[in-house]
Chain A
Amino acid sequence: MTKTDTMVNLRKRLEESESLLAMTGCYDGITNLECREQDPLKFETIHMKLRASCVSAREIARRISASPGVREVGEMVAALYTPEGDAIAISNGIMVHVHTMSRFIKWMIKNDYQDDPGINPGDIFANNDAFIGTVQVPDVMDVVPIYHEGTLVGWAGAVCHELEAGGITPGGDVALAQERFGEGLFVCAEKIGLNDKIRRDYIIRCERNLRMPIYWILDEQAKVAACFNMRDRVLELIDEIGIDFYQKISKEFIEEGRRTQLARVRQLTIPGKYRANTFYGHVTKGKPGFQPLGDPDWLYSIPLQMDIQLDGKIVLDFEGAQPWGYHSMNCTPAGMDGGMFVTLTQHMNFEGLVNDGAWLATQLKLPEGTWTNPDSEFCATATSWALLLPAYGAFQRMLSRGFLARGFLEEVFVGQVNSPMIEMGGISQYGKPFGIAHFECAAAGSGALAIKDGLDTAYVGWNPESDMGNIEIWELDMPMVYLGRSILPNSGGAGKYRGGNAFMSTWVINKSPEVRIVTSEHSSRVFDNAGMCGGYPAPTCQMHRVVRNSNISQRADARKPLVHSTGLDQNELTMNLEGDHQIIEGPHITAPMKAGDIFTHSYNGGGGYGDPLERDPILVLDDIIQGQSSRVHGENIHGVRFKGSIEDTTLEIDLPGTMAARKQLKDERLQKAIPVSDWFENERGKVIEGSFAPEVVKMYRAAMNLSDDFSDEFRTFWQLSDSFAFSEPKQGEDKHG
């Protein structure tokens, strides 16, 4: 096959593959798994070999990386693809990116990269453009083509999440970016290397456009080394089994993955329509740096409908979502794919053939113009996780309802939550410029399960291999010293089984005259997560407590109490420190801080499961003893009554008191209850009058303006006239409203 033939055929091949899928419903028109039928063991063995090559490539990359994000907390994934860009086998890690890399490869094929700049042996391509195929700018992916004697037999790809992207604010999840142009260094499906070598001019561009180029550059090298390793393994395998068999079986793996996904859904759930809704609040009014491009405060409603079809196909529909905005939380379809993929691998596709087959067994409906599918490629996606995580947390709860209905109680999981990120830059403790995203956020609380409490400080949706890293490693790279890193009591949603608790960190700035601290991916004022079956959502809207010009040194000299957390019942900061106290609702974007200033940041817990009044009092007591919750919480939320005190270790449960208190709380609930018809009439009145908070009105108006289907359903549900609409925005309100 000549080079020209390869180029022509690759694009045609992709189109052919897609049309075969459309015609047969099977990947690449593979209706029979012949390799598997002939020798099921060989089939599994070969896939295990491919997957093993991805796993070991990821480990190689982790050794090379300079970034605590990759080395310390494993923010990386490696995968192998068909020539058309469909994932055959993947490593563990941030699985979000398996299909985003697939989109990147397909984008190059569809954009005639075979002609220009050419796809040749030894080439290295990189991308971090979410509209081509990634989630956000810091997710930089590298792919290399795999050629066997002149024939393109596939691609090896790897992604790392970078801790610094050179954006308008330091770090990677650039909260202040309101358009693409502030997000940092873009590499748009670029050929960054030839002949197995990364180009020097590309390295120079990185060195000159990033605050901490060593992270990005060494990660780049790490990924490319990983890709070469996978490439070698594939070529060895081809030598062993022959190219024709490799090409055939690698595609069967994907079709097998598709079928496995469908079978799992049929096994674990009940077909039908499932619905969920979650919310996200974003408050930036008055914060420095935000350009007046749109409304500074956003309340996002995230409605989801999941259709589980009889054959097991999952269709997830975001109809009714709101428009994209001039903020960094928009998401591209690639990011939406990623969120769905990583969620599915945690619930259904964790064993056996994990690959793009799972993606093919699903369908996402992403209305154009919404935050899920922006119709402007100028929009920013730097913090798209802010909306993705709540959305896919709701998806997990829908799936869990399916598991519950089918009796798979142990699979029920209240799901993921947002985990706000802290990023910083300025002058390091070494006196040099620096910038870093602190990735200890990769260890939030998980939602509860139907059989036990959620996991404390050890779960995030985007990477189930959660890890907050060592304090001693983080402090090497940031001019801030931990005064505390402690579990945040009561931060998991209450329930018969509570959500996992989160933790909070407290720092004093150390040896730096200038540290810019930016935080993102909070949810303000509304719950971005929920409970299940009577469980409560976890609290959101954690505040940053800041003390500038603190007297910490003087207090330390006098051996007086300092601060190590914000305190449970009293604010330790105001109690123990003098200085300029501030309480700032996230995102935190303010003037730089300096040595001696104090900063606190907290992460999120998960939602609860079941009625908190059904929680075993022993568990409530144990939580108090372990510092996971407060006594007041145990009394008020769980209705448990105690004797004795925690201080002198005499705390114990007053069982008769507890039973009486619980009965009383249940009675009070009943007293508060009203018939649904009364509630409906009351709420309908509010809808007609539009008597909500302005953000709520804007939220509904925006969704209705964008979606006829949503508007029709809204009007039908609330029994409104066909012409009903919320009043138009007043001057100064957002233009999307």
Chain B
Amino acid sequence: MNNSPKARPVVAGIDAGGTMTDTILVDETGTFTIGKAATTPKMESLGFLESAIEASDYRGISVQEMFKNVDVVLYTGTGMLNVLLSRTGRRLGLITNKGIEDMVLMGRGLQSWGDYSYADRLHAVTHQHPKPLVTRRNTLGVTGRIDHMGDEIIPLYEHEVEDAVNTLLERDVEVICICFLFSQVNSLHEIVAEKIARSIIADQQKTTELLCSHKVRPVIREQSRLNSLLIEAYATGEGRKQLESIEKVARENGYRYGVQTLQSFGGLTSIRHPNLHETMISGPIGGVLGARYISQIIENDSLVVSDLGGTSFDMGIISKGQIRIEQEPLIGRFKLNLPLIAMDTIGAGAGMHVRVDPLTKKVSLGPESAGSEPGPVCFDNGNHIPTICDCNAILGRLNPDYFLGGKVKLNVDLAYEKFKQSCVDVLGVENVYDTAEGMLKMLDAEASVALRRILSAQGIHPSEYTLLSYGGSGPLHLGGYSRGIGFKDIITFQFAAAFSAFGCTTADFQKRFSRSVHMEIPLVFEASEVKHTITGINDIWEGLKTTALEEMISEGHASDQVEFQPLFLMRYTGQLEDVEVFSPLSRIEDEGDLNQMIATFRHIYRNINRSVSDYGQTSVSIMEMGMIASVEKIKPRLAKAKLGPALPPGQAFKGTREVYFEGRWTTTELWEMDEIQPGNIIKGPAIIEHPATTLVIHPRDSVFMDEWSMLHYRHSQEGIE
């Protein structure tokens, strides 16, 4: 994180979390600085600029100078996801096949338990359907059916489409979604319905938007396709406006190109990406990309990442260097058919409200969060509902004069008063501090249980995995939520608060284009069939390549910098799950190439699924062909230093403070994080402070800084809860 003022800044990565917006500024030597500002959900560009100004300040340059110089501005955020989770999106109407309208309520059945823990999946009384994004009343069916071969079995009843559109317009929906069965095979009915709707909307001079499933997600499985469509319609409208305003701000300050964002599988793309829901989980996956980068340094390619911010706790896994890509992930409890770097999220963060029900005396965390506006009670900004952050302040874990480097002064007395009023007195207990500590333990337990759940669901054991903890509140709660799980190592960072943004900047420009096909390659084929298959494959690849190149050039990349990776999704004919095969060949010339491709599939298939599962008696089918176009981008680098003594330098010591641990006030050493040197060991109880985060070291635990300036948290008696 050393400043190199002379080096030109080249990448600005900005990640807007629920509470804080982080900027990481990377220069051409790979060194970086970090800026941080409160997220401004109503107008994200304000927080964006504020945060960019701070990062520029740390480099000693103006924000205009920074924007003028950088080649890439990369913006990610959770704004769209929050719209989905809080159900504050647009009013939708849905036109689908008559007879299957209840799909929005039934959710395959699976959505009632899909993201549950092992125990809750079994414990049937806990199952519950998620609240649908479109009401059943605004879901209207029209007659018509296409079958899986793309044949029209029942023609589209156009008069029913007209009626449905008129009804939805009368009901003043903001977006009309159209999703018919097998539209990914034959989109004729969706195209006709869209045309009719467009004409009616124009006649009525309305501004209602239209979205069709074959454009948003042309992939088999109607429930997942519908969910993609509905989420695109429901949650991205506001998001798109926000992204455009951010680009406007960047350009006003001298930036020359289009702002980029991150797709859920990890590639950068323009904010004008047509299906913006594919970037919905962009911020959190930055952490996984960053973790991949870290894994190369720490020489452990198996990691669990955990990101605790103000509103949510996100978790991800890298196993043996492989980032887990979920092809059918659940987002906000909805099943999608979207390649996504697998992350699990629960609503748990330092900004969460803590409440006690006056009637039942039941204590609850969240689900609402104070966000950055008005913020926790201790921000003294009008909120009177205490939060986890307030509990931390009351217990002395946060430095009231050093929050965000002192930009926000914490009013601990106010937090105490409000917490006592609304929680402690309602509970009818005496000790305010014990109660506050209990609240923190509840949050830690929720996060810990969630981590155990994903470990268990993936069938992996923590003793082989390193836990990375980041996010503004990660270091604050790391000691609590990682205790007893038994990770091989636990690491956090000086720049923990901006780790996701850091991770995003490690991504390359990448676009993934694909086309559903159904190409069966029989066990024995005739020469003419071979020729036909080869031509088919090459034609599709060429088509995808042309589209990819055009789009990359349109985003300002030089054509000679674009690298292509063709891929297949293949399976044994009859199976329902594909294996992703990166083709070793860029073009298929003859039967030998075809056989090499099949051999590659079989090799990967056997590796994933064991050789006993290889059924050589059946043919192979290509279900999807794809092309990944990439352009490499400069990445940040961590600086390596020699390990020094265990004792931290004198200037790192900031004195002591009374902090409440395990039911009593304990004199606790305070340290400045940026002054800690590689090789230093700090024993708990201690608090390491940083303008953007606070690392709490519990009594008997310790923290060691390695040669990369990464902080290793060591539990005293690992496993004792």
A residues sitting closer than 8 Å to B (CB atoms) are 41, 45, 48-49, 51-57, 59-60, 62-68, 71-72, 92, 95, 196-198, 203, 207, 214-215, 217-218, 221-222, 224-225, 228-229, 345-347, 349-351, 354, 410-411, 413, 429, 442-443, 446, 449, 455-459, 464-473, 475-476, 481-487, 503, 506, 508, 510-511, 552, 556-557, 559, 561-562, 564-565, 625-627, 649
* Chain A residues within an 8 Å CB radius of B157: 559
Q: Which residues of B have CB within 8 Å of A67? A: 576
Which B residues are in CB contact (< 8 Å) with A510? 147, 153
How far, in angstroms, from A442 to B460 measured CA to CA in the complex? 29
A128 to chain B, nearest CB (A): 19
With a CB–CB cut-off of 8 A, which chain B residues contact A57? 459
A sample of 19 cross-chain residue pairs with beta-carbon separation below 8 angstroms, ordered by A number, consists of A41-B719, A48-B456, A92-B118, A214-B615, A221-B614, A225-B612, A345-B122, A347-B123, A443-B109, A456-B106, A457-B106, A458-B110, A466-B127, A468-B106, A470-B223, A483-B154, A486-B99, A503-B106, A556-B154
In this assembly, does B103 line the interface, its C-beta being within 8 Å of a C-beta of chain A? yes
> Separation in Å of the A647 CB from the closest CB of chain B?
11
Residues of B near A481 (CB, < 8 A) are 145, 147, 153
B221 and A472 contacting across the interface, CB-CB below 8 Å: yes
The number of A-B residue pairs with CB atoms under 8 Å apart is 243
Which of these binds chain A: B136-144, B378-386, B412-420?
B136-144
CB contact between B109 and one of A45, A65, A228, A442 (< 8 Å): that residue? A442
In the bound complex, residues from chain B placing their C-beta under 8 Å from that of A556 are 143, 154-155
Q: Tell me whether B136 and A626 are in contact (CB under 8 A).
A: yes
- Tell me the bound Cα distance from A225 to B118 in angstroms: 22
Query: Contact: A484 with B576, CB < 8 Å?
Result: no
Residues of B within 8 A of A92 (CB): 118, 121-122
Query: Do B613 and A470 touch across chains, with their CB atoms under 8 A apart?
Result: no
Inside 8 A of B612's CB, which chain A residues have their CB?
196-198, 221, 224-225, 228
A685 → B minimal CB distance (Å): 43
Chain B residues near A48 (CB-CB < 8 A): 452, 455-456, 461
Closest partner residue, chain A, to B457 (CB atom): A55
Given A55-B457, A218-B575, A464-B121, the answer on whether A63 and B608 have CB atoms closer than 8 Å is: yes
* Residue ID in chain A nearest B614 by CB atoms: A221
| Residues of A with C-beta under 8 A to B357 | none
Residues on B with C-beta less than 8 A from A562 are 98, 143, 154
A-B complex: 9 closest residue pairs judged by Cβ atoms: A56-B459, A484-B99, A564-B99, A443-B109, A458-B109, A350-B122, A351-B119, A71-B576, A350-B123
A228 touches B108 (CB 8 A): no
Q: How far is the CB of B216 from chain A (nearest CB, A)?
A: 16
Determine how close the nearest CB of chain A comes to the CB of B96; give it in whole angstroms: 11
In the assembled complex, how far is the CB of residue A467 from the closest CB belonging to chain B, in whole angstroms? Answer: 4
Q: Is B609 an interface residue (CB 8 A)?
A: yes
Task: Point out the residues of chain B lying under 8 angstroms from A62, CB to CB.
Answer: 577
Is there contact, CB below 8 Å, between B112 and A565? no
Distance, CA A459 to CA B153, complexed state (A): 32
Q: Which residue of B lies closest to A646 (CB)?
A: B137
Nearest-CB residue, chain B, relative to A396: B124
Q: Are B220 and A472 in touch, CB under 8 angstroms?
A: yes
- Nearest-neighbour CB distance to chain B for A459, whole angstroms, equals 6
Q: Which of A53, A217, A455, A487 contacts B127 (CB 8 A)?
A: A455
Residue of A nearest to B459 (CB): A56
Question: Is B532 interfacial (CB 8 A cutoff)?
Answer: no
Q: Does B529 contact A (CB under 8 A)?
A: no
B577 and A411: CB pair below 8 A?
no
Which A residue sits closest to B571, measured CB to CB?
A66
Specify the chain A residue showing the minimal Cβ separation from B456.
A52
Complex Cα spacing A349 to B109, Å: 23
Taking a contact as CB atoms closer than 8 A, the residue among A198, A443, A483 that contacts B108 in the complex is A443
Asked if A464 contacts B127 (CB within 8 A), the reply is: yes
A346/B124 contact (C-beta < 8 A), A52-B461, A92-B118, A484-B99 known: yes
Contact across chains for A458 and B127 when beta carbons are under 8 A apart: yes
In the complex, chain A residues whose CB is within 8 Å of the CB of B222: 470-472
* Contact in complex: A458, B106 (CB < 8 Å): yes
Smallest CB–CB gap between B626 and chain A, Å? 19
A457 to B, closest residue via Cβ: B106
Most B-side CB within 10 Å, residue of A54, A95, A350, A482: A350
Chain B residues with CB below 8 A from A486, complex form: 99-102
Q: Write the B92-136 contact mask toward A (1 if CB under 8 angstroms, else 0).
A: 000001111111011111101100001111111101110000001
What residues on B are CB-neighbors of A485 within 8 Å? 99-100, 102-103, 106
A470 B458 Cβ-Cβ under 8 A = no
CB pair A472–B105 under 8 Å, yes or no, is: no
Verify A506–B120 contact, CB threshold 8 A.
no
**A506 nearest CB neighbor, chain B only:** B99
Contact A56/B143 with A63-B608, A473-B221, A485-B99 known, Cβ cut-off 8 Å? no
Shortest CB–CB separation between residue B604 and chain A, in angstroms?
A: 12
Given the contacts A457-B106, A484-B100, A561 and B125 also touching, CB distance less than 8 Å: no
**Separation in Å of the A451 CB from the closest CB of chain B?**
9
A213 CA to B118 CA, complexed, in Å: 32
CB distance from A148 to the nearest CB of B (A): 19
A627 touches B136 (CB 8 A): yes
Alpha-carbon separation in the docked complex, A565 to B101 (Å)? 12
Which of B101, B112, B124, B461 has the most CB atoms of chain A within a 10 A radius of its CB? B124
A22 smallest CB distance to B (angstroms): 30
Additional A-B contacts beyond A207-B617, A458-B113, A466-B109 (17; CB < 8 A): A55-B458, A56-B458, A59-B459, A64-B575, A214-B615, A347-B123, A350-B119, A413-B124, A466-B112, A470-B108, A472-B220, A473-B576, A483-B99, A483-B145, A503-B106, A626-B136, A627-B102
- Report if B428 contacts A (CB, 8 A): no
Check if B98 sits within 8 Å of A66, measured CB to CB. Answer: no
Chain B residues within 8 Å of A229, by CB: 610
Q: How far is the CB of B196 from chain A (nearest CB, A)?
A: 14
Which one, A56, A455, A473, A559, contacts B129 given CB within 8 A?
A455
Residue of B nearest to A64 (CB): B613
CA distance A67 to B615 in the complex (A): 14
Residues on A with C-beta less than 8 A from B99 are 482-486, 506, 564-565
**Cβ–Cβ contact A224 & B613, under 8 A:** yes
B103, B113, B455, B613 — most chain A CB neighbours (10 Å): B613
Q: Which residues of A contact B484 (CB under 8 A)?
A: 41
- When distances are taken between beta carbons in the complex, the residues of chain A under 8 Å from B181 are 471-472, 475, 482
Minimum CB–CB distance for B694 against chain A, Å: 29
Name the distance in Å between B381's Cβ and chain A's nearest Cβ.
37
**Hey, which chain B residues are within 8 Å of A470, CB to CB?**
108, 220-224
B559: Cβ under 8 A from any A Cβ: no
Q: How far, in Å, is A334 (CB) from chain B's closest CB?
A: 21
Q: How far is the CB of B134 from chain A (nearest CB, A)?
A: 13
Q: What A residues does B614 contact at CB under 8 A?
A: 221
Task: Using CB atoms, name the residue of chain A closest to B144.
Answer: A556
Q: Contact check, A466 vs B113: say whether CB atoms are below 8 A apart.
A: yes
Q: Which residues of chain A are within 8 angstroms of B608 by Cβ–Cβ distance?
A: 60, 63
B334 interface hit (Cβ, 8 Å): no
Docked Cα-Cα span, A459 to B220, in Å, equals: 25
Those of B563-591 within 8 Å (CB) of chain A: 572, 574-577
CB distance from A63 to the nearest CB of B (A): 5
Which residues of chain A have C-beta atoms less than 8 A from B112's C-beta? 455, 458, 466
Contact A564 B574 (CB under 8 A): no
- Answer whether residue B618 sits at the interface, using C-beta atoms and an 8 A cutoff: yes
* Inter-chain contacts of A565 with B (CB < 8 A): 99
Residues in A with CB closer than 8 Å to B493 are none
Closest-CB distance, B536 to chain A (whole angstroms): 20
In the bound complex, residues from chain A placing their C-beta under 8 Å from that of B486 are 41, 45
From A45, A68, A459, B124 is in contact (CB under 8 Å) with A459
Q: Which residue of B lies closest to A461 (CB)?
A: B124
Given contacts A52-B456, A468-B108, A471-B181, contact A482 B617 (CB under 8 A): no
Instruction: Provide the bound-state CA to CA distance between A683 and B545, in Å.
Output: 81
Q: State in angstroms the CA–CA spacing of A735 and B561 once bound together.
A: 84
